[in-house]
Structure 1
Amino acid sequence: MSNISDIIEKHLKQILQSKGKNVIEIKRSEIAEQFQCVPSQINYVINTRFTVEKGYIVESKRGGGGYIRIMRIIHQDQSELIDEIIAMINPTVTQQASLDVLERLLEQDIITEREAKIMLSAIGRNTLAFQLPLRDEVRSRVLTAMLHTLKYLNK
């Protein structure tokens, strides 16, 4: 059974797809009312499920006519996307941010589910048994090396 955050995320992604656009504007209070939850739940979903690492830019305007704008980042080619991710994850990357990056690569069909699992096992905190901040630095280097390989294999 899905939790409310998963349901709200799925709903917002469906709106993005159904509009045929890469931008939607929503009112936090309307979505909260629709799902019978508190508005802070909507904030939580947007702040954790629509991140730059996952390929989204979020803008918000507070007040009576306020809105939340969610924009899907679209790249001309895979090489451009990989370059952007490499820049984003250097010089360090957290476990959660690296998971978000792998999820984005999966959604963009740049890697398979099997490849994502292999990559995750290589950059996970159990494998990289170092103290922070060294662990995040090593994770960044390993993930960057994998991304460079993907970039040049896809050309």
Structure 2
Amino acid sequence: MNHHNTSDLIEAYLKKILEDSEMIEIRRAEMANLFNCVPSQINYVINTRFTIQRGYAVESKRGGGGYIRIEKVKISDKHHFLEQVNQLFDKKISEKDAFEIIQKLFEEAIVSRNEGNLLLAAVSKNSLTEFEEEDAIRASILHSVLKRLSYKDRK
């Protein structure tokens, strides 16, 4: 039997709804009641699992009629998408955020599974552990890869 934590169940539930719709609006309190959890857990799931790096735009309105709107980012062309991703970070990026970007590149069929795995290895903590500026080196590598992929797409 699979054991899933509440965060995994909330994520799966929202993604299932998003399969049939480009955008959903939810109410934090209603979701918390549905999953028998505190509203902050709904926030946690949305803030960590529905990020722009993973292909989602989130808008939130607080108050009595408040909602959280989650929308799948539409990718009109790969070149534009790669430029947008390249602007998500500047001179430093964490391993976690870099991994999320690489996962999105794979999901959008911009890189193959093998290419994605090579990129993951190149930007991993294990590969960069000897360097003092690990996040800066990771960002430089990822910026270069995104630019190169963008050139490849313009053929």
Q: Please say whether Structure 1 and Structure 2 have the same fold, judged by a TM-score greater than 0.5.
A: yes
Find the counterpart in structure 2 of residue 9 from structure 1: 11
Give the superposition deviation at 1:138. 0.8
Give how far 1:12 is off. Answer: 0.8
SS in 2 for 1:110: coil
CA deviation after TM superposition for structure 1 residue 151, in Å = 2.1
> Structure 1, residues 52-104: CA drift from partner, whole Å, max 9, x if none?
22222211111221110112221210111111111222222111111111121
Give the alignment's Cα RMSD to 1 decimal: 1.5
Q: Which residue of 1 aligns with 2:134?
A: 135
Q: TM-score, normalised by structure 1?
A: 0.89
In the alignment, the residues of structure 1 paired with residue 46 and residue 28 of structure 2 have an alpha-carbon distance, to the nearest angstrom, of 10
- Distance in 2 of aligned mates of 1:90 and 1:13: 29
Aligned partners of 1:105 and 1:32: how far apart in 2?
32
Q: Which amino acid is 1:9 matched to?
A: E
- SS across alignment from 2:88: helix
Q: Which residue identity lines up with residue 147 of structure 1 in the other structure?
A: L
The 1-side partners of 2:9 and 2:115 are apart by 27
Structure 2 match to 1:34: 34
1:6 counterpart letter in structure 2: D
Q: 1:148 is matched with which residue? A: 147
Question: Identity percentage over the alignment?
Answer: 42
Q: Report which stretch shifted further, 102-111 or 24-33.
A: 102-111
What is the distance in 2 between the residues matched to 1:107 and 1:37?
Answer: 30
Aligned residues: 151
Shift of 1:8: 1.1
> What residue is the counterpart of 2:72 in the other structure?
72
Partner-residue secondary structure (3-state), 1:24? strand
Could you tell which deviates more after superposition, 51-60 or 78-87?
51-60
1:90 is paired with a residue whose SS is coil
Determine if the alignment matches structure 1 residue 85 to structure 2 residue 85. Answer: yes
Which residue is 1:58 aligned to?
58
CA deviations on 1:82-136 (whole Å, 9 max, x unpaired) are 11111222222111111111121122122222222110110011111222xx211
Unaligned runs of 5+ in 2: none
Distance 1:116 1:6 in 2: 24
Q: Secondary structure of 2:96's match?
A: helix
How far off its partner does 1:37 sit?
1.7
Does residue 99 of structure 2 align to residue 103 of structure 1?
no
Alpha-carbon distance in structure 2 between the residues aligned to 1:118 and 1:4: 32
